[in-house]
């Protein structure tokens, strides 16, 4: 969906919801990107959200337009792949340049970086100024 690509490619934050071991939901705000039709998230391997999706790949991502909070996309899907190593480390720097206009602080990294690739099963774009697009 072009609106989802636009929002994910912009300087917009995403609310990411994963399933805890108890079955309850956990939501966190994260940086987001898009490539090859997948939503890209970057985290560390010790983080709860990563452990959650390793156990249960179901995920929901909501990306809100920072310039117009009445525009947002909801992506319901699953984690289809992960990427670690040099590529994951490079991608967090790319995201940092997008969001904070500088490199990611190396002392902030506590464990291995990982790119989480999300495949959409359902996408909804909401523009409350104009209506809903499925």
Half-sphere exposure of 131 (CA within 13 A, CB side): 2
CA distance 33 to 56: 22
Which pLDDT value is given to residue 49? 96
Query: What are the pLDDT tens digits along the chain (134 aa)?
Result: 789 999 999 999 999 999 999 999 999 999 999 999 999 999 999 999 999 999 999 999 999 999 999 999 999 999 999 999 999 999 999 999 999 988 887 777 778 999 999 999 999 999 988 755 55
Which pLDDT value is given to residue 131? 58
Which CATH superfamily groups domain 2-128? Electron Transport, Fmn-binding Protein; Chain A (2.30.110.10)
What are 86's two structure tokens?
């040099």
Domain coordinates in residue numbering, the chain: 2-128
Which pLDDT value is given to residue 108? 72
pTM: 0.91
Q: With CA atoms as reference, report the closest residue to 45 among 124, 130, 133, 109.
A: 109
Which pLDDT value is given to residue 101? 87
Which pLDDT value is given to residue 110? 77
Q: Which tens digit of pLDDT belongs to each residue from 61-97?
A: 999 999 999 999 999 999 999 999 999 999 999 999 9
Length reported for the chain: 134
Cα 83–Cα 51–Cα 63 angle in degrees, nearest 5:
70
CA distance 2 to 6: 6
Which pLDDT value is given to residue 133? 59
Q: Cβ distance 17 to 26 under 8 Å? A: yes
């Amino acid at each position: 969906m072009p609106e989802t690509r636009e929002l994910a490619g912009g300087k917009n934050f995403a609310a990411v919801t994963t399933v805890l071991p108890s079955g309850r939901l956990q939501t966190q705000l994260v940086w987001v990107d898009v490539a090859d039709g997948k939503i890209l998230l970057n985290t560390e391997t010790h983080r709860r959200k990563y452990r959650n999706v390793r156990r249960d790949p179901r995920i929901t991502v909501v990306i809100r337009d920072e310039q117009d909070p009445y525009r947002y996309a909801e992506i319901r899907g699953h984690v289809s792949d992960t990427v670690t190593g040099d590529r994951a480390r490079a991608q967090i720097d790319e995201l940092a340049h997008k969001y904070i206009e500088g490199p990611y602080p190396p002392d902030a990294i506590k464990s291995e970086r990982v790119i989480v690739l999300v495949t959409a099963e359902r996408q909804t774009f909401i523009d409350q100024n104009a209506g809903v697009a499925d």
